[in-house]
């Protein structure tokens, strides 16, 4: 998996080769295809492992020192940038999977993105002080509307080639948009 992650991370899915992976991994090419079914299956396994590792690390992040929700979001975004520097192959694989998944994997990867969006909404916004929210909005309403807003942002930005630089360039605009959605529900 490590060798495959490096190959996909360095060269992308299309240019990566199982002919490079299997000798470096000291396994037979047949074992790769027996285990993963295809190059796409191997890529998907690498993507899943990279995503699981990032989510696990994120779950250990302490953001309790931030009272403002948007300060918390910025701290998590900055953490993700640092994480991406420490794990460049994982990040490259995840960005490629989310931005231009291999044929046949679009639905499976989109499902992960949807799950990640829901997790992110809960993680970012679970502690919204409801006393600031208008009475005609329940906490579930707030979470649902924020999920719709984040999904809209993803739909807009996923059409571009994802990179750390690009994600950094859209950070402020994205936060302003989410603030406007949340502020629209406040008293």
Q: Which of 104, 116, 99 is nearest to 48 (CA)?
A: 116
Residue 48 placed within a domain:
yes
Residue 89 placed within a domain:
yes
Contact 86, 9 (CB under 8 A): no
3-state secondary structure of 92: helix
Total number of domains in the chain: 1
Q: For the whole model, what pTM was predicted? A: 0.75
- Predicted local distance difference test score (pLDDT) of residue 159: 61
Residue 28 placed within a domain:
no
Residue 87 placed within a domain:
yes
Contact 149, 183 (CB under 8 A): no
| Per-residue pLDDT reduced to its tens digit, 7-33 | 999 999 999 999 999 999 999 999 999
Which CATH number do you get for residue 105?
Answer: 1.10.357
Residue 182 in this model has a pLDDT that exceeds 90 = no
Asked which of 35-44, 73-82, 103-112 is least confident by mean pLDDT, the reply is 73-82
How far apart (Å, rounded) are the C-alpha atoms in residues 22 and 16?
12
The DSSP secondary-structure symbol of 132 reads G
- Predicted local distance difference test score (pLDDT) of residue 158: 61
Q: Which residue has the higher pLDDT, 152 or 105?
A: 105
How far apart (Å, rounded) are the C-alpha atoms in residues 90 and 92?
6
Residue ranges making up the domain that contains 62: 39-183
Q: Phi-psi category of 83—alpha, beta or left, where left has phi over 0 and alpha has psi -120 to 50?
A: alpha
């Amino acid at each position: 998996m490590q060798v495959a992650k490096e190959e996909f991370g360095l060269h992308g899915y299309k240019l990566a080769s199982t002919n490079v992976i299997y000798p470096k991994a000291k396994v037979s090419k047949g074992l790769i295809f027996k285990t993963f079914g295809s190059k796409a299956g191997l890529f998907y396994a690498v993507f899943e492992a990279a995503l699981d590792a990032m989510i696990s690390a994120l779950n250990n992040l302490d953001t309790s020192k931030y009272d403002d929700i948007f300060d918390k979001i910025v701290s998590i975004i900055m953490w993700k940038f640092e994480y991406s520097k420490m794990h460049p192959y994982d990040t490259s694989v995840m960005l490629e999977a989310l931005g231009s998944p291999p044929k046949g994997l679009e639905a499976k990867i989109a499902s992960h993105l949807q799950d990640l969006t829901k997790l992110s909404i809960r993680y970012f916004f679970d502690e919204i002080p409801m006393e600031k929210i208008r009475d005609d909005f329940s906490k579930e309403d707030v979470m649902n509307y924020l999920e719709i807003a984040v999904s809209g942002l993803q739909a807009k930005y996923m059409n571009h080639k994802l990179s750390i630089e690009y994600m950094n360039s859209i950070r402020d605009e994205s936060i302003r948009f989410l603030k406007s959605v949340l502020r629209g529900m406040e008293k």
